[in-house]
Structure 1
Amino acid sequence: MNHGALKEVPWTLEQTPMPESGSPAGVTGLPAGSPVNLDTVAAFARSFGFTEQFRINVPQDDKGVYTVSADSMDADTTSPTGDHTVHIDRYTGKILADVRFADYPLAGKAMAVGIALHEATMGWWNTLLNTLMCLSVMFISISGIVMWWKRRPAGSLGAPLYPRDYRVPVAIMVLGLALIILFPLSGAVIALFAIIDFLLPKRLKEAGFQSA
């Protein structure tokens, strides 16, 4: 139900079949006999739980429906638990589908919450958390350079040497495996550098790159 770059409904619902207008299906929505148009659909949405910002997609053909939606991905709601999508028959005003956060599968709930956390739209504490995360990445980047500078071989710009009896800790291997699974491109970079390290002559790795 999403078209191109325009996200008309949450990602969790974009592969959901669109209901069609013109059948006896559905449950009571707009009052019987009332016209079904943009104004009456908007008024009904406000009385049906859409208390924050929401959007309405109008029917595109004879079988199209009115779709009322609000989700945190589009910053309509302040929390993903407020996600709400309703499809309304353009002729009868009946509700053909009413999907809320509670109806999402586990993966859909995790995605909705994850996007909100990533975009820091869940309140001041979320903004603070994301700020701390950004600062931690900056700290890791700067401290990594400092540690390399302190441990580099004397008179060299090469990498610090491993002890001859060095073994990779199990915890590091587990973290690396988790990183590869969660971030495949990062895993590809790790694999690339491992191959380069393996192919480099031992004398280069032991001596480092001598500075001028």
Structure 2
Amino acid sequence: MPSLVEIRARIFRSTSGMYTDSYHMDDLMNDAQNQLVEGARLRGVQTISVLNGTDTYALPSNFKSPGELLYQPPNYCITTYPLLDLTSNQFGYSIENGNIILKPSPQEDRLLTHYYYKYATTLVNDADVPEIDPQYHDLLHFYAAGMILLLPTLNIQDKTLSDRYLKRWEEGKTNFIMDMQRKNKSSTGRTVVHW
């Protein structure tokens, strides 16, 4: 799996070494990763150690939108907590000010599993690896190289190469989004019981 520094080197080669601003390359790669995740809904998992009488728990820092909150005691069916309006008095949970609020307040300690949709982790350090599937890492390279070759400061008259990179980006982005939606759909096909 290529790291940030390796993808940056590919961009450098793809632009024939005409552009060396690594900070801008990193920004373009993060922009590409965010566009992919926006369309594909990258999933995250959080384990919440619930304590008797405590109803509020912090969401992860990369939380984007809710998925499912589940409780599975040993040898029993899964219980799903439905997402509720904050003012509701029913069984479930609400999200407010960066927290999950359980309803009603728990009467026992338990472990909950929170599946949620998340933002991609920003690529900052040379050793950072994109969170998307490795087969799609080249998309970050294609996007960044295509955008760099369009910069007016490079004064490139022939846009053929940038068009080629951006076309590969668009095709790959479409395939990535369809692949992730298919994976998300198949992972939600489990049996869930709400008590």
TM range (shorter): under 0.3
- Where relative contact order (Cα < 8 A, 6+ residues apart) is larger, the structure is 2
The TM-score, its normalising length taken from structure 1, stands at 0.24
Q: Which has the higher strand share?
A: 2
Q: Which has the higher helix share?
A: 1
The TM-score, its normalising length taken from structure 2, stands at 0.25
Q: Which has the larger radius of gyration?
A: 1
